[in-house]
Chain A
Amino acid sequence: MTTTAAVDQVFLLIIAISVALLLLVTGLMLWFVVRYRRSRHPQAEEVKGSTALEVAWTLIPTLLVLVMFWYGYKGFEFLRRPPPGSLEVTVTGRMWDWGFEYANGKKSEKLFVPLGRPVKVNLRSVDVIHSFYVPAFRVKEDAVPGQESYLWFKPQSMGPADIFCAEFCGERHAYMISQVIVMEPAEFERWLAAPSPTEMSGTEAPSAADAAREVMEEWGCFACHSTDGTESVGPTLKGIWGRTVTVIAGGQVYELKSDEAYLRKALLKPSDELVKGYDDLMPPSELTDEQMSILLEYLKIL
Chain B
Amino acid sequence: MGSEFHASYLDVPPGGGGLKSWIFSTDHKRIAILYLISILAFFFVGAAIGILMRLELIAPGKTLFEPSTYNALFTLHGVIMIFLFVIPGMPAILGNFFLPIMIGAKDVAFPRLNLLSWWIYMAGALLAVASLFTGGGPPDTGWTFYVPYSLRTGTNVTLAVFAAFVLGFSSILTGLNFITTVHRLRAPGMTFFRMPLFVWAHYATAWIQILATPILAITLVLVMAERLFGIGLFDPAKGGDPLLFQHLFWIYSHPAVYIMILPPMGYISEIIPTFAKKRIYGYKAIALSSLAIAFVGYLVWGHHMFTSGMSDTSRWIFSLLTFLVAIPSGVKVFNWVATLYKGSIELEPPLVYVLAFIFLFSIGGLTGLMQGALATDIHLHDTYFVVGHFHYIIFGGAVFAFMAALLYWFPKMTGRMYSKRAVWVALAHQFVGFNMLYFSMLILGMMGMPRRYYDYLPRFQTLHVVATVGSWILVAGLVVLAAALLRALRRGERAPANPWGGVSLEWTIPSPPPEENFSLPPEVGEPYDFSKGPAR
Contacts and interface: CB of A to CB of B under 8 A. Distances in A.
A74 B374 CA distance: 9
B342 interface: yes
B375 A10 contact: yes
Interface centre among B149, B236, B312, B363 (most CB of A within 10 A): B149
Interface stretch (A98-106, A140-148, A209-217): A140-148
B42 to A, nearest CB: 23
A171 B71 contact: yes
Interface of A: 6-7, 10-11, 14-15, 17-18, 21-22, 25-26, 28-30, 32-33, 36-38, 41-47, 49, 53-54, 57-58, 61-62, 65-66, 68-69, 71-80, 127-129, 131, 133, 135-136, 138-142, 144-147, 149, 162, 164-175, 177, 278-281
Interface stretch (B113-121, B453-461, B515-523): B453-461
Contacts, number: 256
Contact of A15 (B277, B334, B338, B370): B370
Interface centre among B68, B146, B345 (most CB of A within 10 A): B345
A61 to B, nearest CB: 5
Contacts of A45: 278, 342
Interface stretch (B30-38, B178-186, B313-321): B313-321
B11 interface: no
Contact of B344 (A26, A38, A76): A38
A76 B323 contact: no
B8 to A, nearest CB: 31
A230 to B, nearest CB: 13
B452 A36 contact: no
Interface residues of B, number: 83
Given A165-B450, A280-B152, A142 B309 contact: yes
Interface of B: 67-68, 71, 136, 140-142, 146, 148-149, 152-154, 236-237, 241-243, 276-279, 281-282, 285, 307-309, 312, 315-316, 319-320, 323-324, 326-327, 330-331, 333-334, 337-338, 340-347, 355, 358-359, 362-363, 366-367, 369-370, 372-379, 381-383, 447-448, 450-457, 530-531
B323 A65 contact: yes
A168 B148 CA distance: 11
24 contacts: A14-B373, A18-B367, A33-B355, A36-B345, A44-B277, A44-B278, A44-B530, A61-B327, A65-B326, A72-B376, A76-B378, A80-B312, A128-B148, A131-B381, A131-B382, A144-B309, A145-B148, A147-B243, A147-B309, A162-B457, A166-B381, A168-B146, A170-B153, A280-B152
A15 to B, nearest CB: 7
A165 to B, nearest CB: 7
Contact of B152 (A58, A68, A127): A127
B453 A145 contact: no
Given A47-B342, A166-B383, A22 B362 contact: yes
A135 B346 contact: no
Nearest to A4: B379
Contacts of A135: 379, 383, 447-448
B325 to A, nearest CB: 10
A139 B378 contact: yes
B67 A171 contact: yes
Given A72-B375, A73-B316, A65 B450 contact: no
B362 A54 contact: no
A166 B382 contact: yes
Closest 6 CB pairs of A and B: A146-B236, A135-B448, A72-B373, A75-B375, A279-B154, A76-B374
Contacts of B453: 173-174
A248 to B, nearest CB: 12
Contacts of B450: 133, 164-166
A65 B343 contact: no
A141 B378 CA distance: 8
A162 B372 CA distance: 25
Contacts of B376: 7, 10-11, 14, 72, 75
B448 A133 contact: yes
A280 to B, nearest CB: 5
Contact of A32 (B309, B331, B337, B369): B337
A33 B347 contact: yes
Contact of B331 (A6, A61, A136, A172): A61
Given A142-B308, A146-B237, 8 more contacts: A14-B376, A41-B344, A47-B342, A49-B282, A69-B372, A144-B236, A171-B140, A279-B154
Contacts of A68: 323, 369, 372-373
Contacts of B378: 7, 76, 79, 138-141
A175 B343 CA distance: 56
A136 B344 contact: no
A79 B363 CA distance: 27
B148 A69 contact: no
Contacts of B373: 10, 14, 68-69, 71-73, 75
A146 B374 contact: no
A133 B382 contact: yes
Given A14-B373, A138-B378, A146 B345 contact: no
A29 B355 contact: yes
Given A29-B340, A175-B455, A76 B315 contact: yes
B368 to A, nearest CB: 10
Contact of B337 (A29, A165, A175): A29
A168 B452 contact: yes
A35 to B, nearest CB: 9
Contact of A44 (B149, B337, B344, B377): B344
Given A33-B355, A171-B68, A54 B285 contact: yes
Contacts of B276: 36, 44
A94 B168 CA distance: 34
Contacts of A28: 337
Interface centre among B276, B338, B376 (most CB of A within 10 A): B376
